[in-house]
Structure 1
Amino acid sequence: MIGRLRGTLLEKQPPWLVIDVGGVGYELEASMNTLLALPGIGETVQLYTHLSIRDDAHLLYGFIREAERALFRALIRVNGVGPKLALAILSGMEQEQFIRCVMDSDVKALTRLPGVGRKTAERLIVEMHDRFPHWAAAPDAGQAAAPPSTARGHDPLVDAEAALVTLGYKPAEAARMLSGHETGLSTEALIKAALTRKLAG
C-alpha cells in the first residue's frame, strides 16, 4: 500500500499531477483544494495517498492533508459514492464546510456539487452524520497553502473547463461557471472561483 509520496512535482494538469520519486514518475489525481496548495513545478512536494485497485487499473489519489485523505476514505465507504464522486465533493467545498452541511442536514447545498442528487445528498447525511461530532475538523498543522502556479504551455481557461468536465459538470455548465472571471488567473484559481460561484448560486 502506498501511503505517502515525497518527491519533485513534474506536472500539474488539473485534476492530474505527476511526482518524481527517485526517478519514478507517479501519476495521481487530486482535489482542487490540494492542487491549489501545491508548490510550483520543479519543487519538492509531499502528499498523503490512497491507492484504489480495480480490475482494469491501479489509481492513486493525492492529498495535501491527512485529514482530507481521511474524509475521502470516509466518503467512499458511503453506499453509491466512488472515488470520482468523493474527489468531486472534496473539490467542491472545504472539509469544514462539508461537515457543517452534513451536521445541519443541508441537502440543498450538497446537491450543488456535481454528481450529487437529492438521494445521494440524503444518503451522505444519514450515513455520515454520526461520524462527525468527534471529527478533527481543524486543518493539519504546518500545511500552509502555497501560491498556485500555471503550467507552461497551457491555456488556463481551457484547462480549467476540461478539469470541471472531469469532475462531472457538463461542458456547457462548465463554460458558464468560468464566464466573467478575470484573466491572468491560474488554472487552479479559475477552477476554485468557478466552484465557489456554483456553491454560492
Structure 2
Amino acid sequence: MIGRIRGRLVHKQAPAILVEVGGVGYELQVPMTTLFQLPELDSEVSLLTHFVVREDAQLLYGFIDDRDRSLFRQLIKVSGVGPKLALTILSGMDAQSFAHCVQRDDISSLTALPGVGKKTAERLLIEMRDKLKEWLVRAQDEQGEESRGASLAPFTDIVADAEGALITLGYKPQEASRMVSVVNDDSVVSSEELIRRALKSMVKV
C-alpha cells in the first residue's frame, strides 16, 4: 500500500498530475479540491495517497487533506460509487462541504454533480450520515479559518483546458462549454480558477 508520496511536481493537467520521486514519475489522479492547492511546477509536493489495484490497471489517487482522502475511502464503499465517481464528488466539494450537504439532506447539490442521480444521492445521504458525525463537528470548529492558497501557473488556453477537465469529470461537451462561458470573465487568470468557478456555480454548498 502506498500511503504518501513526496517529490517534484513536474506536470499537472486536470485531473492528472505527475510527481517525480528519485527519477521515477508517478501519475496520480487528484480531485479539483487538491489541484487548486498544488504549488507551481518544479516545486516539492507531498500528497496522501490511495492505491487501487484492478485487473486491467493500477491507479494512484492523491489528496492534500487527510479528510478528503478519508471521505474518498468511505465513498468508494457505498454501493454504486467507484473511484471515478468519488473523485468527481470531491472535485465539486471538499469533505467539509460534503458534510454540510449530509447535515442538510441536500440532494440537489449532489445531483448537480455529473454521474450522481437521485437514487445515488439518496443512498449517499443515508449511508454517509453516521460516518460523517466527526467531520460535522470538525467543520463547525474550522469555520472562519482562512483557506490555504497557492500560486497556480496559467495554461496557454485556459478555456479549452477548463472545458477538457470538466468533460473528463463527466460533464457533456456542450454542458462544459456552457458552464465555462457563464463564469468566464477578464478576472480569470488560470484554468484552475475557471474550473473552480464552474463547479461552484453548479453546487450550492
State the TM bucket, normalised to the shorter chain: over 0.9
Matched, 1:49 2:65: no
Residue pairs, 1:179-190, within 5 angstroms = 179-180=181-182, 181-183=184-186, 184-190=188-194
Please list every run of 5 or more consecutive structure 1 residues that lacks an aligned counterpart in the other structure. Answer: none
TM-score with structure 1 length normalisation? Answer: 0.92
**Maintained 8 Å contact 2:109/2:202:** no
User: 1:106 and 1:61 mapped to 2: Cα distance?
Assistant: 27
Residue pairs, 1:38-187, within 5 angstroms = 38-135=38-135, 136-137=138-139, 144-151=148-155, 154-180=156-182, 181-183=184-186, 184-187=188-191
Runs of 4+ displaced beyond 4 Å: none
TM-score with structure 2 length normalisation? Answer: 0.91
User: Could you say which residue in structure 2 is the equivalent of 1:16?
Assistant: 16
Instruction: Report the number of matched residues.
Output: 197
User: Could you say which residue in structure 1 is the equivalent of 2:34?
Assistant: 34
Partner amino acid, structure 2, of 1:33: T
| C-alpha displacement of 1:200 | 3.9
| C-alpha displacement of 1:24 | 0.3
Please list every run of 5 or more consecutive structure 2 residues that lacks an aligned counterpart in the other structure. Answer: none
**Maintained 8 Å contact 2:68/2:94:** no
| C-alpha displacement of 1:126 | 0.8
Partner amino acid, structure 2, of 1:199: V
| C-alpha displacement of 1:144 | 2.8
- What SS is found at the alignment partner of 2:203? helix
